[in-house]
Amino acid sequence: MKPRFDRPIAHRGLHDRSAGRIENSSAAFEATIAAGFSIECDVQLSADGVPFVFHDDNFERLTGYSGLAGSLPMAEIERLPLTGSSPPETPQRLVAFLAQVAGRTPIQIELKPQPTPEATTRLAAGVCEALQSYTGEVTLESFDPNLLIALRREGARWPLGILVSAYREAGDRNLSATTRFALRNLLHWPWTRFAFISCYHQDLNLPAVRFFRALGMPVTAWTIRSEAHGRTALLHSDQIVFEGHLPLHVTG
């Protein structure tokens, strides 16, 4: 399944804290749709196995609560206010996000790496279940190849993508040098069989990324924070994932 990236993708929605639109909030997503862009969002797993739209592994930065994203049941997560949201919002379930978008724009869902293989399987299953009746355009992606493998096991019928960077730092996600080498060179391809690549914009020259793009695989570039960086990224990619500005090169 080859994805179609026909318009710039708003990173965590078209968020603007000064306007009360917090990242990954319904207000940010509604603004994205109104502006004619695609939506990128992040999905975590609650303690009781419910996929919800949230980026961080910890609630503190966005809600003030210091617990881990997977430490609370969904009923309690829905009572955590997103700090600075106006009107007040809380993290929403994936199914609520899908109901909000309702096919009005393409969405790109990033599944966040989980702490255990069991949680990885539960997140993949929960996302597939939430999407079963959704008829809009969807792509799924993750930094973790195991999540793509789990999605395939769950029968995912949507294009799957791998997020990649050069993994220059030894501390990147506490990964070994061997693992970082395998990830930046996309050596998991025989098992993940990804349909697109989402690459850090400064690493678009990675040999593996260039190789797959030469074979016709779509590549998106993240996270673009200026028009100039967007123009440069599009020399080596097919679409941008942006925030902090409104791209002029809307192609949809």
User: How high is the pLDDT of residue 251?
Assistant: 46
Band the pLDDT of 104: cuts 50, 70, 90: very high
Query: How big, in percent rounded to 5, are the helix, strand and coil portions of the chain?
Result: 35, 20, 45
Return mean pLDDT, the chain: 96
- Residue 117 has φ and ψ, to the nearest 5°, of -60, -35
43 within some domain: yes
- Check if the beta carbon of residue 45 is closer than 8 Å to that of residue 111: no
Mean predicted confidence (pLDDT) in 91-120: 98
Residue 116 belongs to some domain of the structure: yes
Token couple for 89: 């919002």
Residue 34, domain member (yes or no):
yes
Residue 250, pLDDT above cutoff 60: no
Q: Contact, 187 vs 172, CB < 8 A?
A: no
Counting the structural domains of the chain, the total is 1
Task: Determine, yes or no, domain membership for 250.
Answer: no
Alpha helices in 69-217 (DSSP H): 74-77, 94-101, 117-131, 145-153, 177-184, 189-192, 207-214
DSSP 113: P
Give pLDDT tens digits for 206-231.
999 999 999 999 999 999 999 999 99
In a domain, 3, yes or no: no
* pLDDT band per the 50, 70, 90 thresholds, residue 249: low
CB-based contacts of 118, cutoff 8 Å, min separation 6:
none
**Token pair belonging to 17:** 């804290």
DSSP annotation of 76: H
**Residue 124: pLDDT band with limits 50, 70, 90:** very high
d(CA 74, CA 196): 31
Stretch among 3-12, 73-82, 170-179 having the lowest mean pLDDT: 170-179
The reported pTM is: 0.96
Asked whether residue 54 carries a pLDDT value surpassing 90, the answer given is yes
Position 229 in a domain = yes
Q: Is residue 4 part of a domain?
A: no
The mean per-residue pLDDT over the stretch 101-111 comes to 98
Read off the amino acid at residue 110: E
Residue 170 has pLDDT above 90, yes or no: no
High-pLDDT (> 90) share of the chain, %:
93
- pLDDT exceeds 90 at position 57: yes
Residue 145 neighbours by CB distance under 10 Å:
18
Chain centroid to CA 4: 16
User: How high is the pLDDT of residue 169?
Assistant: 75
Structural domain boundaries, residue 171: 9-242
Q: Is residue 247 part of a domain?
A: no
138-142 vs 219-224, strand pairing mode: unpaired
**Residue 109: which CATH number?**
3.20.20.190
